[in-house]
Structure 1
Amino acid sequence: MRILIIGAGVIGLSSAYYLSRAGYDVTVADRHAEVASETSFGNGGQLSYSYVAPLAGPGVVSKLPRWLTQRDSPVRFRPKLSVEQWRWCFEFLSACTRARSELTTQKLLSLSFLSRTLMHELIAAEPSLDFDFVRSGKLVLHRDANAMQSAVDLLAFQRTLGCEQQALSADACVEIEPALAHARSFLAGGIHTPSEDTADCRRFCKGLEAVLRERGVRFLMNTPIDGLKFGAKGVEAICDGAPLAADRIVVASGAGAAQLLKPLGIRVAIYPIKGYSLTFDLQPHITAPHVSITDFARKVVYARLGERLRVGGIADIGGYSLDADPARFATLRKETATLFPEVAQSAASGEWTGLRPATPHGLPIVGPTRYPNLWLNVGHGALGFTLATGSAALLADGLAGSNNRELSSAFVLSH
């Protein structure tokens, strides 16, 4: 069976890996000259399996006034004259209940734990892959005592879902990560999760591309898909006026999926949330963290990637433009200076802006559509790298007619 995957980011490439391993004839098409040229290029670098709670939660509504009025807010909403945007926002607000958030978190944790197992198996099976992968563990830092207590109160619930975590004092946080010594005075504490990993998503994609090419997977780069149309043979992907040969098509095109699927009458509730990152080259004398760090209040993440530090965060809900706001990069540098001043004093070697393909409720969409030959693997938001292997395995199982993973039905598009 010939399978065409649209999208050469981490989701598309992971899909190609598991489908080719299952014996399918796989082709990957992408409009860019290189794989991982968009959202997978410069993400936060955290494989954060235990921290997958959706943005839509019971505390969000009370934060909206600040998000709408403060320029440097971690989440910023820019209203557009767009039915798509407002419909997504209303669906997002309807998902901001405790019951819905907890149910979504449980489903995402099941998928993320599967992804962790598969990622570790993939690394063992593919020794040529080199993408700065480290089982670093993660510290979520709290500056406010009330926020820290709320996090402690959640530990028992998290343990019932399979998360192994420990509440730490500020001193204990510094003991685990000495680079935080400068911040000890304003930390209320932190939550330590030893099972989290860090890695370079773009390097993972480039390495996976090499593995796939060796196994006969074809890549059609610089190949934009003009559209999808339904014909006598089912859905066809049109390029330069002609259909690309395929028995099955998998859409893994991130934030662009909604527009691509719309002419077929398929609505996927995906809207782009713009994120930013800075990458700092670390000189030997610079004090920088080795443990993965998340600043809970500021919603900024720090991941050591070899001799670089990736600093990422921010969520701008304001359309499909990739234009970067310099003030957002300035915010990331300011926050870096607060925790790791020596890092912030050096020049950033890379700036990145990308569109995270988010669903209102936070669950990705993995599985078939009402068209028998059209499948989806989209809507992973900020968790694409974390959920990539598990989502790809679910997709491969589904295409093979297998239903041996209990959580698969939770991510299928509702018709």
Structure 2
Amino acid sequence: MKVVVLGSGVIGTTAAFYLAREGHEVTVVDRQPAPAMETSFANAGEVSPGYSAPWAGPGVPVKAIKWLLMHHSPLVIQPLLSPAMWRWGASMLRNCTAERYRINKARMVRVAEYSRDCLQALRAETGIAYDERSQGTLQLFREQKQLDGTASDIAVLKQYGVPYEVLDMDGCVRHEPALQAVRQKFVGGMRLPGDETGDCFLFTQRLAQLAEGLGVQFRHGVTIRGVDHAGGDITGVRTDAGLLQADRYLVALGSYSPLLLEPLGLRLPVYPVKGYSLTLPITDASGAPESTVMDETHKVAVTRLGDRIRVGGTAELGGFDLSLKPGRRRTLDHVVSDLFPRGGDLSQAKFWCGLRPMTPDGTPILGPTRYPKLWLSTGHGTLGWTMAAGTGRLMADWMAGRKPAIDTEGLGLARY
């Protein structure tokens, strides 16, 4: 089978690898000069199936108002006259019920847990290295009500057999010794020992090299102009380098997927939510995180990646704007200096932003469309790195007509 994959981020590259491993002829197209140059470039570094949860949930509308009023706010909304943004927001609000949260989180955990298993198998099979660590995620709670509000998440974790530990201050310090110096700033936490960390950019670049060894052709610096269709199916993808034709087309363009597919009559409820990160060198290893610490108050993750600290967070709704806002940096600066004051050198930090492709219910959009040759793999939000390996393996099986290893119920565009 001949497959064209649109997008060479971590989602498109993993799909290309698994498709090629099964013997398919794969071409990957991307406007960037190399793999993982956009959203996959400097994300928070978490591979966190245990932390997989939709943003839409009970009480979130009230919390959002409080977040908007915080000095170091995890949420920023830039008012736009954008029907897409307001439709997305309205749909997200409809998912802020206990029942929808339970359903959506279960779907997300299903994909994320499978993906973690696929990533571990891939690592064992290929020896790929990407500054990975397997020491879990620590959700850090600054307020008792945060700790008390974990019951619904714990219920889903139990349902899917995801290990977890509820910790007091001493327990948090036991797993993250550097927090001893700031223990008065939190009340406890929940640890997800099955979670991992790693450099998504490094992983994607190295997996692309492995994929090339399997025959995948990466066509970088090629701009996609549109998708041609006739007779109820796709006839080709127009690019500035000519028309590309295949037996299957996989759209893995993240936040830009809806723009490509709207002329086909496919309305994807995927909206770009901008996130920011800092990457700074470790100056005192004993004062740096051992793995990932998620500050639940500010929704900022602080992760060790080799000899660096990656600080990622903030949700900014403002369309496709990629400008770097100093105010967002101040939030990241605050969290890392507040929790790990001796860990790294902020004066050498590199500031970055990227667009997370978010769905209103948190679950990615995977699978076929009404056009038999056209398939989707987008909408992973903040969990593209977490779900990448499993998504790639799932799509390779599904597109080839094999039964996927996990249930695909509720993962497709049809749920909307």
TM-score in terms of structure 2 length: 0.96
Cα pair distance change 1:65/1:154, threshold 3 Å: closer
Q: Deviations over 1:82-102 (max 9, x none)?
A: 111111111010111110011
- 1:234 counterpart = 2:234: yes
SS at structure 1 position matched to 2:123: helix
Give the Cα–Cα distance (whole angstroms) in 2 for the partners of residues 332 and 214 of structure 1.
39
- The one-letter code of the counterpart of 2:214 is R
Question: Please, which runs of 5 or more residues in structure 1 have no aligned partner?
Answer: none
Q: Deviations over 1:267-306 (max 9, x none)?
A: 1100000000001111356620112211111101011111
Q: Would you say the 8 A contact 1:280–1:343 is kept in 2?
A: no
**1:159 matched to which residue of 2?**
158
- 1:212 counterpart = 2:228: no
Give the Cα–Cα distance (whole angstroms) in 2 for the partners of residues 144 and 327 of structure 1.
24
Q: Percent identity?
A: 38
**Displacement of 1:19:** 0.7
**Displacement of 1:166:** 1.1
**2:388 matched to which residue of 1?**
388
Q: Would you say the 8 A contact 1:333–1:344 is kept in 2?
A: no
**2:202 matched to which residue of 1?**
203
Q: Deviations over 1:143-172 (max 9, x none)?
A: 101211222675355222212111111122
Q: Would you say the 8 A contact 2:136–2:191 is kept in 1?
A: yes
**Displacement of 1:31:** 0.1
Give the Cα–Cα distance (whole angstroms) in 1 for the partners of residues 234 and 259 of structure 2.
19
Question: Please, which runs of 5 or more residues in structure 2 have no aligned partner?
Answer: none
SS at structure 2 position matched to 1:147: helix
Give the Cα–Cα distance (whole angstroms) in 2 for the partners of residues 24 and 72 of structure 1.
48
Cα pair distance change 1:288/1:85, threshold 3 Å: same
**1:357 matched to which residue of 2?**
357
Q: Would you say the 8 A contact 2:227–2:234 is kept in 1?
A: no
**2:190 matched to which residue of 1?**
191
- 1:408 counterpart = 2:408: yes
Cα pair distance change 1:395/1:404, threshold 3 Å: closer
Give the Cα–Cα distance (whole angstroms) in 2 for the partners of residues 178 and 361 of structure 1.
36
The correspondence of residues 10-409 of structure 1 with structure 2, limited to 5 A, is 10-70=10-70, 72-127=72-127, 129-151=128-150, 154-231=153-230, 234-240=234-240, 242-284=242-284, 287-343=287-343, 345-409=345-409
- The one-letter code of the counterpart of 2:367 is G
Q: Would you say the 8 A contact 1:235–1:371 is kept in 2?
A: no
**Displacement of 1:329:** 0.8
Q: Deviations over 1:61-85 (max 9, x none)?
A: 1123234444631012222101111
- The one-letter code of the counterpart of 2:258 is A
Q: Deviations over 1:352-393 (max 9, x none)?
A: 100000000111111111111111100000000001111112
Higher mean Cα deviation, 248-257 or 227-236?
227-236
Superposed CA RMSD in Å reads 1.7
Give the Cα–Cα distance (whole angstroms) in 2 for the partners of residues 345 and 234 of structure 1.
51
Give the Cα–Cα distance (whole angstroms) in 2 for the partners of residues 241 and 206 of structure 1.
23
Q: Would you say the 8 A contact 1:107–1:407 is kept in 2?
A: no
Give the Cα–Cα distance (whole angstroms) in 1 for the partners of residues 151 and 409 of structure 2.
32
- The one-letter code of the counterpart of 1:400 is A
Higher mean Cα deviation, 1-10 or 335-344?
335-344
Cα pair distance change 1:404/1:252, threshold 3 Å: closer
- The one-letter code of the counterpart of 1:246 is A
**Displacement of 1:132:** 0.6
Give the Cα–Cα distance (whole angstroms) in 1 for the partners of residues 260 and 348 of structure 2.
35
- The one-letter code of the counterpart of 2:224 is I
Give the Cα–Cα distance (whole angstroms) in 2 for the partners of residues 279 and 207 of structure 1.
20
Q: Would you say the 8 A contact 1:366–1:394 is kept in 2?
A: no
Number of paired residues? 414
Cα pair distance change 1:111/1:373, threshold 3 Å: same
- The one-letter code of the counterpart of 1:155 is I
Cα pair distance change 1:67/1:189, threshold 3 Å: closer
**Displacement of 1:41:** 0.1
**Displacement of 1:409:** 3.0
Q: Would you say the 8 A contact 1:132–1:305 is kept in 2?
A: yes
SS at structure 2 position matched to 1:322: coil
Q: Would you say the 8 A contact 2:111–2:387 is kept in 1?
A: yes
Cα pair distance change 1:153/1:28, threshold 3 Å: closer
Cα pair distance change 1:157/1:114, threshold 3 Å: closer
- The one-letter code of the counterpart of 1:391 is T
TM-score in terms of structure 1 length: 0.96
SS at structure 2 position matched to 1:410: coil
**Displacement of 1:346:** 3.5
Cα pair distance change 1:42/1:241, threshold 3 Å: closer
Give the Cα–Cα distance (whole angstroms) in 1 for the partners of residues 111 and 239 of structure 2.
34
Q: Would you say the 8 A contact 1:229–1:238 is kept in 2?
A: yes
Give the Cα–Cα distance (whole angstroms) in 1 for the partners of residues 156 and 358 of structure 2.
25
Q: Deviations over 1:8-52 (max 9, x none)?
A: 000000100111111110010000001100000000001001111
Q: Deviations over 1:200-250 (max 9, x none)?
A: 000000100110111111010000101112146734210127311322111
Cα pair distance change 1:125/1:262, threshold 3 Å: same
- The one-letter code of the counterpart of 2:251 is V
- The one-letter code of the counterpart of 1:178 is P
Cα pair distance change 1:157/1:236, threshold 3 Å: closer
